[in-house]
Amino acid sequence: MSADQSRQSLNRRPGNHSPERPQKIARVNPIGESGCEEEENQRKGPIVTETKMNPNPRVQRYLIAIEYIGTRFAGAQQQSNCRTVVGVLEEAFHKFIGQPVSIFCSSRTDAGVHALSNVCHVDVERISKRKPGETLPPHEPAVVKKAVNHFLQKNEGDIMVIDVQSVPSDFHSRYKAQERTYFYRLLSGPEPLSTFEKDRAWHVAEELDLLSMQKACQVLVGRHDFSSFRAAACQAKSPIRSLDELNVTEVVSPLSFPSIKEREQSNYLVEDSFATSLKSESEVSHVSSTITSQVEPIPTFGMRKQHRCFVVTARARSFLYHQVRLLVGVLKSVGTGNLTVDDVERILKAKTVAAASPMAPACGLYLGHVKFDLASDM
């Protein structure tokens, strides 16, 4: 056999793969590319992806709901040399179980964006610390919640686990999500923003026209090409999205405390409870509404004037990158009178982000809820 024939024979041997060119593993995407694109941190850098492996019976997958103040985070997604939600959470789990874990979020919120409830999943194999190598039964969800929060509170105290549930090994927090709800807070009024509201809302000095903003929402809700409401860096394959809900509501600011008149009203209702109990329900309602209508803020030295608080709610299965903040930017412009409802229709039809108003800042955005059908997946 010649030298050339010998080399060809070696190359045909099964399993003779070069160590520099490993076999590729197919990427698994259970529901295609319709996963959450909203407010995602799309900075350049290594992104951790999950490969579907054979389930290990010794490993328990947990669904973790977390809340956090996004101000001091560079986003939810893991990044090198940056403080991120996933990074802090993985560190807390490492301290709890004594080994590294990988955490995957349903919604990869951007820097400065807060979460009332973001959802992640993590795989944990409980190994005995006294007898290394010995596998123990999985921790109860309540134990996981308490232990991880213990280590999180030793960090900055701006993130907390609010719920934990055991789920099957193939349950994916991102691809199993059915819809996501975002809230955006705007505080309207000429007074400077309170220290307690710093980085928690968008301060708009002008008065906002609630009715006009609500009319503009009706133009935007539904299934549309939202090219005018996607950032240039958006990596979604299609700009088509179904916006199931978009509305603006005026609410009482959570930092509002009872005034003297309101405290007097409360005392009046308690002291007069016996008398009002003898009246009909409609009479009681009339008395209460009459007293409420008489409540007027008393200008007192040292008492801050309250801002009007507006909350934009956006609900959909998935969003484009920066879609919510671009929508809020347009609604704010309608509220201040810089745009009309007809202008909103024109911006939507333009199908270019250049036609939209400046994007709302991240500080007012909150991921409110991620919905799952846990009953059918258990």
- Amino acid (1-letter code) at residue 100: P
Quick check: helix, strand or coil at residue 91? Answer: helix
Q: Do 373 and 175 contact (CB within 8 A), yes or no?
A: no
- Paired tokens of 178: 């059915």
Among 4, 110, 123, 158, the active-site one is 110
For tokens 């400065």, the residue is: 112
Q: Going by C-beta distance under 8 Å and a sequence separation of 6 or more, which residues neighbour residue 191?
A: 304, 305, 307
Quick check: helix, strand or coil at residue 286? Answer: helix
Radius of gyration of the chain (CA): 27
Within 10 angstroms of residue 164's Cβ, the number of other Cβ atoms is 21
What does each C-alpha distance from 307 to 150, 193, 250, 370 come to in angstroms? 36, 8, 11, 29
Whether residue 170 lies in the annotated active site: no
Q: Do 67 and 89 contact (CB within 8 A), yes or no?
A: no
- Paired tokens of 249: 């509501």
For tokens 């935007």, the residue is: 220
- Amino acid (1-letter code) at residue 171: F
57, 61, 62, 68 alpha-carbon torsion, rounded to 10°: 150
Write out the catalytic residue numbers. Answer: 110
